[in-house]
Amino acid sequence: MKISFYKIITFVIVFFLLIVFWLGLQKDNSYNTKSLVGTNLSSFNLPSINNEDTITENYLKNNKFTIINFFASWCAPCRIEHKYLLNLSNNGIKIVGVNFKDKKENALQFLNELGNPYEFVAQDVDGKASISFGIYGIPESIIVNDKLIVIKKVIGPINQQIYEEILENLK
């Protein structure tokens, strides 16, 4: 068999494809943001819920720890975790709320009704900013230290056990 340019190209393409397929198989395909823990938070700039103020990553540098909690009035599990957030806030832990894909009136009513545990309530109307925090569903919370390193990520509502863990670690 003579070696020609076309043959080499064909084999190169076929091997490339097969190798990509093989590498693709080795990859974990499920979307996972657990690996976020230990990484640095990227910079952000979000407006407050009543559009009077904005919050950036500098705000977090003032606290030893900050919980960033993503919530919405339409989210049932958010109601369940709300009392734990209030307790954490009463224990002196700073919480920033990010209102996720929500209407302003509904969000304010939600906080009126259940209490406001947040130092600052930011809004993310179309949910795009939350993606850069590694959020893919709510409720989710991330805990960040003053060096902007993510030290914990909670997917789903905070329950008694997680609440105790947080309290233990952050005190």
Site residues (CB under 8 A) for other proteins? 1, 7, 10-11, 14, 17-18, 20-27, 29, 31, 76
Shortest Cβ distance from residue 11 to other proteins (Å)?
7
> Residue 54 or 106: which CB sits closer to other proteins?
106
Shortest Cβ distance from residue 22 to other proteins (Å)?
6
Q: How many residues does the chain have?
A: 171
Shortest Cβ distance from residue 108 to other proteins (Å)?
19
What is the SS3 assignment for 126?
coil
Shortest Cβ distance from residue 169 to other proteins (Å)?
31
Count of other CB atoms within 10 angstroms of residue 152: 19
Q: CA-CA distances (angstroms) from residue 123 to 3, 28, 101, 114, 142? A: 63, 32, 8, 18, 16
> Residue 23 or 171: which CB sits closer to other proteins?
23
**Ramachandran class of 153: left when φ > 0, alpha when ψ lies in -120 to 50, beta otherwise:** beta
Shortest Cβ distance from residue 150 to other proteins (Å)?
19
CB 139 within 8 A of CB 157: yes
Nearest CA among 170, 132, 164 for reference residue 33: 132
> Residue 25 or 112: which CB sits closer to other proteins?
25
> Beta strand pairing status for 140-145 and 45-47?
unpaired
Q: Which two tokens stand for residue 155?
A: 């997917």
> Residue 4 or 160: which CB sits closer to other proteins?
4
> Residue 82 or 94: which CB sits closer to other proteins?
82
